[in-house]
Structure 1
Amino acid sequence: MGPSQDLLGQLWKEYAKSDSRYLISDPFVVSIEAVTVAVWGPLCLSVAYLTAVQHPLKHPLRIIVCVAHLYGDVLYYATSLFNHYVNGISYSRPEVLYFWVYYFFMNFVWIVVPAGLLYSSVCTVSNALRAAERTGEQKKVK
């Protein structure tokens, strides 16, 4: 993407100012983005469709996708922080726009939104199981 002059290339280079691992083919970033594109992206589209048609399978699949996003984001921050504090390597420019807006906030969204959806789906599944258990107990009493 480095020599690319089209819109996508320019956006990629702009974001890379907040995390230069996107320009150097960092093994972690390449791996996590490949898994995201190949696995989590299609699964997210499936969850969006299941949500649109109100299919109950959306909840277990949403739980899987949300946990994957949370895990990926924790690793994203952790690998960067590890290199910063242990190896003295900083991947982000210090300006407010690049560090706080691009690097921190734009990635923190991938923690807040999945955490909220995860909580919602876990509560829904838990309530459904609780209701099913009560129904099962009522049938046993009769």
Structure 2
Amino acid sequence: MADILNSTISQSLDTPVHPYYPLGVVIAGYVAKTLSTQEILSIFTGTCVCILGPTWLYLRHARRNLSNSDVLTALWFVLCGFIHLGLEGYFALHARDLASRSTVLAQLWKEYSLSDSRYLTADTFVVCMETVTAVCWGPLSFAIAWCIASDHPLRHPLQSIVSLGQLYGDVLYYGTCAVDFIAFGREYSRPELAYYWGYYVFLNAFWIVIPLCLVVSSARETARAFAAVKAGLKAEKKK
């Protein structure tokens, strides 16, 4: 009995204490973040402003004929490119030891993981999804922004592909959490409203609403282009 008690005490001392759900989830090598929530959110917001500000100025001066909707769409894909490649790419590279890291990006993920601890346990689905997002949708997001700025004909085919990929990934992301909760009662988010409704629901909803709108927009533009080509061919045949 003494051996069992000593072993239990030893394991509890060796297991790092952390604030993540579900209670008791094992997070190997966990090191607490040193930056506060306010500092992390300020760094993230400031970085977004530093990225989008110069991009907006460039688009407004270099492409004065771009519509407001095209400018906003280009800004969206530039932001997606940096998030997919920089932030999610970092996660894909360091998923196995993210919990033990103390870089700014690692601490940002530790903050977000309060709403989804799977990012600190190297969950198979999350690692695969984020890797595909970083490798595929990151570079293509920058390509779409360039296509918009240069009025390239590949804009809408690429926009459809990336937006549908983002939408599909986010639906699966929500879906896997929902199934785990409904079927197994497993919760990955802390109960505070800011984490579940703020981080998990609100932030990820951008990649549901905006890609869905862009898929519809590209479908309409593609249909319009095919209709114009068919009308032209019919007119030639009549001649």
Whether these two folds match at TM > 0.5 is: yes
**Counterpart for residue 23 of structure 1:** 120
Distance 1:13 1:6 in 2: 10
How many Å apart are 1:119 and its aligned residue?
1.2
Distance 2:158 2:235 in 1: 30
**RCO comparison, higher one (Cα < 8 Å, 6+):** 1
Counterpart of 1:29, as a letter, is: V
How many Å apart are 1:76 and its aligned residue?
0.3
Distance 2:201 2:101 in 1: 25
Aligned length: 142
Counterpart of 2:187, as a letter, is: S
How many Å apart are 1:4 and its aligned residue?
2.1
**Counterpart for residue 98 of structure 1:** 195
Counterpart of 1:54, as a letter, is: D
Task: Indicate whether 1:71 and 2:168 are aligned.
Answer: yes
TM-score (norm 1): 0.96
Task: Indicate whether 1:9 and 2:120 are aligned.
Answer: no
How many Å apart are 1:51 and its aligned residue?
1.2
Distance 1:51 1:85 in 2: 42
Alignment of 1:1-142 (within 5 A): 1-142=98-239
Distance 1:118 1:102 in 2: 24
Counterpart of 2:221, as a letter, is: T
- The alignment-based identity, stated in percent, is 46
Tell me, what secondary structure is at the counterpart of 2:122? coil
* Structure 1: unaligned runs, 5 residues or longer: none
Distance 1:121 1:54 in 2: 14
How many Å apart are 1:120 and its aligned residue?
1.1
* Structure 2: unaligned runs, 5 residues or longer: 1-97
Counterpart of 1:3, as a letter, is: S
Distance 1:26 1:6 in 2: 21
The one-character-per-residue Cα deviations of 1:25-55 (angstroms, maximum 9, x if unpaired) are: 0000000001111111111111111111110
Counterpart of 1:98, as a letter, is: Y
How many Å apart are 1:118 and its aligned residue?
1.1
Counterpart of 1:24, as a letter, is: T
